[in-house]
């Protein structure tokens, strides 16, 4: 939204010309939808890979230098790197990391205070990292 309170419609892009849609820039909603869609796709890749015995690691570190990544991958305008995925056959089989208990993650009807569960998780994680 511009300072006037109205949504600003900007110059057409290749996609908008193809579809006849208006271009509305600068909305958090667009960034969220695109990033969530990407994460959904990536999680399907992760599940498919793990079902075939592969391991994966998301790499958000590619956002440390988005311009270099964009240049390397020849990303077109309006396309941005969200994360990478390393994918391969694991050389080691490490212990499963501690997990927060389900009741700290899955809520029914309303959110609850999980500070004790989180504190216990932090202790378990410290032990794991040792
Ligand atoms: C969006 C995202 C970005 C991540 N970026 C990195 C990263 O740059 N480097 C890294 O070593 N791990 C990265 N991870 C992996 C996490 O550090 C962590 O190992 C993983 O999410 C937890 O999964 P696990 O508990 O099954 O190991 C990333 C994870 C996510 C979800």
Tens of each residue's pLDDT in the chain, 130 residues: 445 555 666 778 888 889 988 877 777 888 899 999 999 999 999 999 999 999 999 999 999 999 999 999 999 988 999 999 999 999 998 888 999 999 999 999 999 999 999 999 999 999 999 9
Tokens at residue 78, please? 């309006």
* Measured CA angle at 93 (ends 103, 117), to 5 deg: 20
**What pTM was computed for the model?**
0.78
Measured from the Cα of 82, ligand 1's closest atom is: 1
Is any ligand 1 atom within 6 A of the Cβ of residue 76? no
Nearest protein CA to atom 28 of ligand 1, as residue: 58
From 35, 58, 65, 84, give the residue whose CB has the most ligand 1 atoms within 8 Å, as the site to mutate: 58
Question: Cα–Cα distances in Å, from 109 out to 32, 106, 112, 117?
Answer: 24, 10, 10, 19
Nearest protein CA to atom 6 of ligand 1, as residue: 59
Cβ pair 99, 64 in contact under 8 A: no
Is any ligand 1 atom within 6 A of the Cβ of residue 119? no
- The pLDDT tens digits for 12-36 are 888 888 998 887 777 788 889 999 9
């Amino acid at each position: 939204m511009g300072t006037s309170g109205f949504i600003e419609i900007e110059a057409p892009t290749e996609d908008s010309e193809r579809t006849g849609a208006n271009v509305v820039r600068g909305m958090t909603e667009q960034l969220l939808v695109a990033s969530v869609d990407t994460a959904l796709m990536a999680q399907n890749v992760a599940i498919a890979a793990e079902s075939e015995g592969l391991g994966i690691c998301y790499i958000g570190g590619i956002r440390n230098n988005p311009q270099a990544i964009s240049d390397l991958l020849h990303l077109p305008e309006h396309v941005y790197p969200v994360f990478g995925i390393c994918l391969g056959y694991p050389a080691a089989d490490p212990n499963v990391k501690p997990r927060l208990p389900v009741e700290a993650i899955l809520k029914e009807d309303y959110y609850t205070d999980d500070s004790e569960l989180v504190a216990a998780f932090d202790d378990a994680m410290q032990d794991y990292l040792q």
